[in-house]
Amino acid sequence: MKKVKVEDAVGMVLAHDLTRIVPGEFKGVAFKKGHVIREEDIEKLKDMGKNNIYILDIKENELHEDDAAFKIAEHVSGEGLYFEGPSEGKVSLKAEYDGILKVNVEGLEEVNSIDLLILSTLHNNSLVRKGQVVAGTRIIPLIIDKEKINKIKYISEKLNKIIRVKKFKPLKIGAVVTGSEVYEGRIKDQFGPVFTQKIKDYGGILLEIRYAPDNQEKIEEEINYLIESGADVVLTSGGMSVDPDDVTPSAIRNVSNNVITYGSPVLPGAMFMLAYKDNVAIMGIPACGMYHKATILDLTLPRILSGEILTRRDIAKLGHGGLCLNCEVCNYPVCPFGK
């Protein structure tokens, strides 16, 4: 620290808080530690009796905490992010639109291994909404060596950015509700309304809901009908277990040319099926999708709507965090499920 006349301190950084006292009216911090002195601050400082102040001496190879936090955010950010701050040395990264947060976890760990700075994020593959804070960054001291910030730039460029938000695409989604009892009108369809709401929540376009009995050929016909009608994604419901009359998996297998999985390490959602016919995703949703607020559908459909082509490895990774706690009041996505 060094002592400087207030008139000569413009552009310099306060080394400590400065308190202002107005008897009977106010007592508190007028200028916080780390504040960069501006021309308009001079008269106010003199009114406080501060003709001289102590400032931080920032060298050519150093950055102030505000500048450093902004630089970190700039270096690690890819598509779909904007910044807010700095405020008290912290910069927040926010989502520009609804989508899926993608975090390169190894890169994040590498950044946080650099001494005297932090980068905090939500979980990878989190569903995020426009304007939501998805990450925050700051340095620990008031000033930091520029070389540390340059390391972050190198790490992030090597990995093609560490944080980004993939925007939901307005894909056309068709649904096939299976089950002879629904097809024949014996019971009310409860899957259609669930599909309708989920598609709306995740920014898709509902093409049409079709119905089929427990007949493999009929289910195949309806899936093909929706694909030919322009569906980018086809959801099928029911008939996903191993009972002899549950033929939906066989129908999906016959229609598709690339079966990713039948079964997932997610509860609820074990009897899930994912396949592709060319670039059209065909998803078999088990009965749990009707009853639970959050299921395998919520962990996969948003990612597909962000343009991802899911692999068997992607499904396998869902086992870590794939056990729903069945809380009395469901707070998904603010919970460990799918994280």
The pLDDT assigned to 337 comes to 95
Distance of CA 235 to the CA centre of its chain: 23
The pLDDT assigned to 33 comes to 75
What pLDDT, in 10s, does the model give residues 275-301? 999 999 999 999 998 889 999 999 999
Q: Could you tell me whether strands 52-56 and 13-14 are parallel, antiparallel, or unpaired per DSSP bridges? A: antiparallel
Q: Mean pLDDT throughout 54-72?
A: 89
Mean pLDDT of the chain: 93
What pLDDT, in 10s, does the model give residues 1-30? 678 898 988 888 887 778 888 777 777 888
The pLDDT assigned to 12 comes to 82
Assess contact for 20 and 128: CB atoms under 8 A.
no
**pLDDT category, 55, cuts 50, 70, 90?**
confident
What pLDDT, in 10s, does the model give residues 133-176? 999 999 999 899 999 999 999 999 999 999 999 999 999 999 99
The pLDDT assigned to 194 comes to 94
The pLDDT assigned to 134 comes to 98
Sign of CA dihedral 312, 240, 217, 236: negative
What pLDDT, in 10s, does the model give residues 175-186? 999 988 988 889
**pLDDT category, 243, cuts 50, 70, 90?**
confident
Angle at alpha carbon of residue 191, lines to 185 and 192, rounded to 5°: 80
The pLDDT assigned to 326 comes to 93
- Distance, CA of 159 to CA of 74 (rounded, Å): 14
Q: What are phi and psi of 123, to 5 degrees?
A: -65, 150
**Which of 57-71, 203-217, 223-237 is least confident?**
57-71
The two tokens of residue 73 are: 């955010």
The pLDDT assigned to 19 comes to 80
The two tokens of residue 113 are: 């291994």
The pLDDT assigned to 242 comes to 75
Inform me whether the pLDDT recorded for 245 exceeds 80: no
- What the chain holds in terms of domains, given with CATH numbers, is 2-56 (3.90.105.10), 62-166 (3.90.1170.30), 172-317 (3.40.980.10)
Inform me whether the pLDDT recorded for 126 exceeds 90: yes
Inform me whether the pLDDT recorded for 109 exceeds 90: yes
Could you tell me if residue 315 is left (phi over 0), alpha (psi between -120 and 50 degrees) or otherwise beta?
Answer: alpha
